[in-house]
Amino acid sequence: MGFTRRNTLIGLATLAGGAGVIGATGAFTSVEADRTVSVSTAGDASALLQLEGNSSITDTEDDGGVDLLVINNDDINERARTRFDNAITVTNGGTQNVGFYVDGDPSPIGFEVSGHGTIVGESNAIDVDLGSSVDVDIIIDLRPSGVSGSDLEDINGVTFVADTDAYGN
């Protein structure tokens, strides 16, 4: 087959078409897109994870859309370990079983579940099945040297975690 005008044009068209297929793979290095997002929250009483104060010592309050768990006691003994049994009820109102725990180190405040022990740290998570509840005890330990009631004022919050990956730990 010799080089004719027709063969040369067909060859160039095939080469151009092949280059277009190779170049048009749809691959990209970066994409940035703005989207509108709508997020709504629910108070603890109707949330997927419900926290409710159980006694005169604990209560939940609404502070501008944020539920607060409040320990209502101004006379906790210095150099003592004070325990409030069943101070909080945690209810799993979600759609899956979860492991529930307190993240971080909230010392000198501790959190325990009767028959389970501490729930501070993911490795100590308590299983809370779908639709079930667990009662949590609050322990305030001001016995260690150098710890006082003023340390309680330094605690700005405690993070409660419900995680499906922590279930069964």
- Domains assigned to the chain: 44-166 (2.60.40)
Quote the tokens at residue 139: 């322990």
> pLDDT band at 74, cuts 50/70/90?
low
| 54 band by pLDDT with thresholds 50, 70 and 90 | confident
Q: Compute the C-alpha angle 39/45/47, nearest 5°.
A: 35
Q: Are the beta carbons of 161 and 169 closer than 8 angstroms?
A: no
More confident residue, 70 or 157: 157
**Per the structure block, which two tokens stand in for 62?**
């609404």
Dig out the tokens for 52 from the structure.
């409710």
| Alpha-carbon torsion angle 98, 99, 104, 107, nearest 10 | 120
Residue 138 confidence (pLDDT) above 80: yes
Torsion angle of C-alpha atoms 11, 12, 13, 17, degrees rounded to 10: 100
CB atoms within 10 A of CB 91: 18
Q: Is the pLDDT of residue 130 over 90?
A: yes
More confident residue, 141 or 127: 127
More confident residue, 90 or 67: 90
Neighbours of 144 (CB within 10 A): 12
Least confident of 36-50, 89-103, 123-137: 36-50
pLDDT for position 57: 63
